[in-house]
Amino acid sequence: MKDNTWLEKWEERYSNEEFVYGIQSNNYLRQQLEQVNPGSILFPADGEGRNSVYAALQGWRASAFDISYEGQRKALQLAEENKVTIDYKVGELPALGYQEQQFDAVALIYAHFPAEIKSSMHRMLDQYLRKGGLIIFEAFSKNHLEYIARNEKIGGPKDIESLFSIDEIRSDFPDYDILELAETEVELEEGLFHNGTGSVIRFTGRKR
C-alpha cells in the first residue's frame, strides 16, 4: 500500500531525538474531546504519540497506529513519561486486527495518507467507529499550498492531491451528521515542522 520511500521518510523523521511535532496535543483535538465523555478512541497515523497520550491522560482508552517503528518508540516513551498506557500498533491498517464498531471516536489529526489511498482509508476507518461515534479531523486544505509558498516552515504535503477539500470530506464521510465542517486559517506551533499560518479543513461528525 505504501512504498519504501514513504516509510523511510517517516522512519528518518521520527528518528530525531526531538519530538518533531512537539509533545503538546493538537488544539482542535483538545477542544473537541473536552465536550464529550471519555471512551475508546483510535488515532490513525499517530506518529510520536502526542495526541493519543493526551487522550489517555483525559481518561480515554487510546489506540493508535502508524507505519513507523521510530514513531511507536517515541510514543511509548512519551506515554511512559506521562504514566499512561496507549495501545500503539505498527503496520498497514487492514492487518492490525481492529473490530467493527470498536471505537467511540476516531481522531484524524494531520493524517495525510498518500493521495491514492486516502479516501479508501477513510472508508475503512468508518467501519471501526460505532454508530453515534465521532470523527474528529484536522488536516491541511488544498489552499494550503499558497501558505507553503510563503512559509515552508508551516509544513504539510506539497502535492495538491494529498491535501483536502470540504467536498472530499463530505464524500468520504457521507453517513454523518455534521457538527462542524469548515476551511479555516490556523496558527500552528507544533514542534519542528508545523510553524506559522496555514489553511486547514476541520470536521467533526457523528456517525448515523
pLDDT in tens, 150-197: 999 999 999 999 999 999 999 999 999 999 999 999 999 998 889 999
Confidence of residue 7 (pLDDT cuts 50, 70, 90): confident
Strand arrangement of the beta sheet that strand 40-43 belongs to? 87-90, 61-66, 40-43, 103-109, 129-140, 194-207, 176-190
Q: Rounded to an integer, what distance in angstroms lies between the CA atom of residue 5 and that of residue 159?
A: 16
Question: Quick one: what percent of the chain has pLDDT higher than 90?
Answer: 90
β-pair type (194-207, 176-190):
antiparallel
For strand 194-207 and strand 129-140, is the pairing parallel, antiparallel, or unpaired?
antiparallel
pLDDT of 8: 87
Q: Is the pLDDT of residue 136 over 80?
A: yes
The residues spanned by each domain of the chain are 4-207
DSSP string, 37-62: ---EEEETT-TT-HHHHHHHHTT-EE
| Residue of 16 and 101 predicted with greater confidence | 101
CB-CB contact of 111 with 44 (8 Å) = yes
Note the helical H segments in the chain: 4-14, 27-33, 50-57, 69-81, 118-127, 144-150, 166-172
Topology of the domain comprising 4-207: Rossmann fold (3.40.50)
Report pLDDT for 1: 43
The answer to whether the Cα torsion of 40, 126, 136, 178 is positive or negative is negative
Which band of pLDDT confidence, cut at 50, 70 and 90, is reported for residue 3? low
User: Does the pLDDT of residue 2 top 50, yes or no?
Assistant: no
| pLDDT, greater one: 15 or 205 | 205
What pLDDT is recorded for position 191?
83
Reading the block at residue 136, the C-alpha cell is 474528529
Give the CA distances from residue 206 to residues 62, 66, 105, in Å, rounded to whole numbers and listed in that order: 19, 24, 9
Q: What is the mean pLDDT of the chain?
A: 95
- How many whole angstroms separate alpha carbon 74 and alpha carbon 50? 9
Confidence of residue 4 (pLDDT cuts 50, 70, 90): confident
pLDDT tens by residue, 85-119: 999 999 999 999 999 999 999 999 999 999 999 99
Q: What is the pTM of this model?
A: 0.95
Strands 176-190 and 61-66: unpaired
